[in-house]
Amino acid sequence: MASQGESIESLTRLKETFRKLPGIGPRNAERLAFHILREPRDFAAALAQALIDVKDKVLHCKVCFNLTETDPCSICSNANRDQGEVWVVEQPKDLLVLEATGLIRGTYHVLMGHISPLEGVEPEDLTVSALVDRVKSGTVREVVLALNPTVDGDGTALHLQDVLSQLGVQVTRPARGLAVGSQLEYATTGMLEAAIRGKANM
């Protein structure tokens, strides 16, 4: 006879897996697990397939490091985009924020983070050398440093300006419409538009 405290192994395993996700505590993990249990099997199958697909199909564009299922990504391979203008962002989610404004005619370069002496992140840990190679290839006319207006974002921008200006490319930054210490991803559309339209030389 099953005792009240009997553990159901597969349910426990699901709860423990959910707990490994960011922001999910034991109570939320339990709620999610019981939610899955109540849903039809099709839902669980679709969720499982979506998880596998994102791991198997999503990769980084070898030109700009954007997340994509085709390489190069749809932006890098789009002849209507200005390949001479490159907007440098910290993370793929920042690219999505800028792209959603519909104001960017150029392309992007995702650094995959920012330089941070405190966290031990050096330029070599980012995609800086790939950006330098892109500029050296001669197709890039202007690099816009759209980094977060934080201490590390500013430090990263200064480093990039230093490296890139030696290559004779124009280096600009979006206007300072964003509050110091804020993150690009939380900016309002109006703030972003003002910042994008007001970009200026560093």
Residues that bind Zn ion (CB under 5 A): 61, 63-64, 66, 72-73, 76
Q: Which is nearer to Zn ion, 61 or 196 (CB)?
A: 61
Minimum distance from CB of 156 to Zn ion (Å)? 20
- Quote the DSSP letter at residue 100: H
Which is nearer to Zn ion, 63 or 115 (by Cβ)?
Answer: 63
Structure tokens at 200: 């200026």
Residue 68 sits at φ, ψ, to 5 deg, of: -160, 165
In whole angstroms, the minimum distance from the beta carbon of 74 to Zn ion comes to 8
Which amino acid appears at position 154 of this protein?
D
- How near is the Cβ of 66 to Zn ion at its closest, in Å? 5
Least distance to Zn ion, CB of residue 99, Å: 12
Q: At CA 67, angle to CA 56 and CA 96, rounded to 5?
A: 140
Phi-psi region of 40 (alpha: psi -120 to 50; beta: other; left: phi over 0): beta
3-state SS record for 170-193: EEEECCCCCCCCCCHHHCCHHHHH
